[in-house]
Amino acid sequence: MQYGLIGEKLGHSYSKIIHEMIADYTYDLIPLTKEEFHTFIKEKPFKAINVTIPYKQDVIPYLDSLDDNAKNIGAVNTIVCENGKYIGHNTDFAGFMYMIKKYNVEIEGKKVLVLGKGGASKAIIAVLKALNAGKIYTVYYKPAEDSITYEECLQNHTDADVIVNTTPVGMFPNMDDSPIDLSLFTSCKAVLDLIYNPLTTKLVSQARALGMTGATGLEMLVAQAVYASEFFQNKKLCASDEEYTQLIDKITSDISANL
């Protein structure tokens, strides 16, 4: 293979469709068990790949270097072979930044809850810090370092302004699940759910019903894929922010229309 995606479960992935709409190359989906992952990443039988749950941090020891963005985040979602060296990048940062701007979500000075603490959450927190969020709390299902439990969240932080879901709760096929009941968060203005399958999660549906801005992760997915494809091809795909928006919107619309 030359290009593709590795992760543990990829049955829900739209990445092949997206990448093959962006550029003229074949993009393979490679589901790997934890044992298969280590063998694969040692052998590195690829030119460039994307990495998803749960391997965004596990790949790091196998790489020759990280760019500053991936290094600061501590997670990698894009690997490119350059002159025999394997370089780690993170395009989730730019993808989430695009999502925030697309939906005009105000972050500066706001109290933000990030649900989940996997590899994706690291990029989200890096963006929130870059946008000068007032307070950021990571919410996790069990007691853990640098996080609060859902019980603590409901007891002390229902005044949050923005909620970001980085967990897989609510993802296909478990679409009746939701990580949290938004009716308790009366100050919340926006809910950003990184899940993109289904296009409208139960969490986002509730957010919209309560008058909050609600967005799922398809725009972020497409945006990070566009930026990853630039690393794959070693070239810029658009000349301006407006052209990026047009490209991302077109791909997002085409995918939505066929689901």
Reduced to 3 states (helix: H, G, I; strand: E, B; else coil), residue 43 is helix
* C-alpha to C-alpha distance for 32 and 21, rounded to whole angstroms: 24
CA-based nearest residue to 15, from 203, 251, 236, 231: 251
Catalytic site residues? Answer: 56
Is 29 in contact with 1 (CB distance < 8 Å)?
A: no
Q: In what order do the strands lie in the sheet with 85-89?
A: 27-31, 3-7, 48-51, 78-82, 85-89, 65-66
* C-alpha to C-alpha distance for 188 and 182, rounded to whole angstroms: 8
Reduced to 3 states (helix: H, G, I; strand: E, B; else coil), residue 163 is strand
Burial of 132 (0-12, 13-18, 19+ CB in 10 A): exposed
* C-alpha to C-alpha distance for 130 and 245, rounded to whole angstroms: 21
